[in-house]
């Protein structure tokens, strides 16, 4: 008997890491699915291979909900798509402007680069939480006007 992949994706949406492990232990199909195809979060550190990270993001695009990137110069050029939660702790010296509107709901950025950047918030229509540390050209009013669902804005400029 075969378990439909669509059913496993549906079940996986409601599972945390612990529950996914328990389901994976029930049969070999579920084990292969949850170990190879269903990853909810990924973390990139400077010691990782960026090309491997991008490959894995594509591989898990359907299930990936969160990415965290640490110590990568201009990480926005390496992000092939924007999941619902993005955490960046990097040096960014270029504006953030995705090619098309994204479904990201949570965006947290610590920008170590000492230059003002601008974020095109029109491309983040679903954004609910925005946290930023660094130099930012966007005003709080600009963010509120372009992100209708936003309820949390935390801005901390470095001096």
Task: Render pLDDT for 78-115 as a digit per residue (tens, 0 to 9).
Answer: 887 889 999 999 999 899 999 899 999 999 999 998 88
Q: Record the tokens describing residue 95, joined without a space.
A: 């504006």
pLDDT over threshold 80, residue 3: no
At residue 70, φ and ψ (nearest 5 deg) are -120, 135
pTM here?
0.79
Q: Record the tokens describing residue 69, joined without a space.
A: 């990137």
Reported in sequence order, the residue ranges of 20-148 that DSSP labels E, i.e. its strands, are: 41-44, 66-73, 85-91, 106-111, 129-133
Domain boundaries, the chain: 1-38, 40-156
Task: Render pLDDT for 25-66 as a digit per residue (tens, 0 to 9).
Answer: 677 777 676 666 677 788 888 777 888 888 888 888 878 889
CB atoms within 10 A of CB 111: 21
Q: How many helices, marked H, and strands, marked E, lie in the chain?
A: 5, 6
């Amino acid at each position: 008997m075969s378990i439909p992949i669509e059913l496993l994706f549906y079940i996986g949406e409601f599972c945390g890491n612990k529950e996914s492990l328990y389901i994976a232990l029930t049969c070999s199909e579920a084990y292969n699915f949850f170990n190879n195809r269903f990853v909810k979060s990924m973390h990139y550190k400077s010691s990782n291979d960026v090309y491997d990270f991008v490959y894995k993001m594509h591989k898990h695009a359907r299930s990936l909900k969160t990415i965290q990137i640490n110590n990568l110069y201009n990480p926005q050029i390496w992000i092939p798509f924007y999941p619902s939660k993005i955490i960046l702790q990097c040096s960014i010296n270029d504006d953030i402007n995705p090619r098309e509107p994204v479904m990201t709901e949570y965006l947290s950025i610590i920008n170590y680069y000492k230059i003002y950047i601008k974020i095109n918030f029109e491309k983040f229509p679903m954004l609910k939480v925005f946290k930023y540390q660094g130099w930012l050209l966007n005003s709080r009013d600009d963010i509120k006007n372009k992100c209708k669902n936003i309820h949390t804005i935390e801005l901390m400029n470095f001096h």
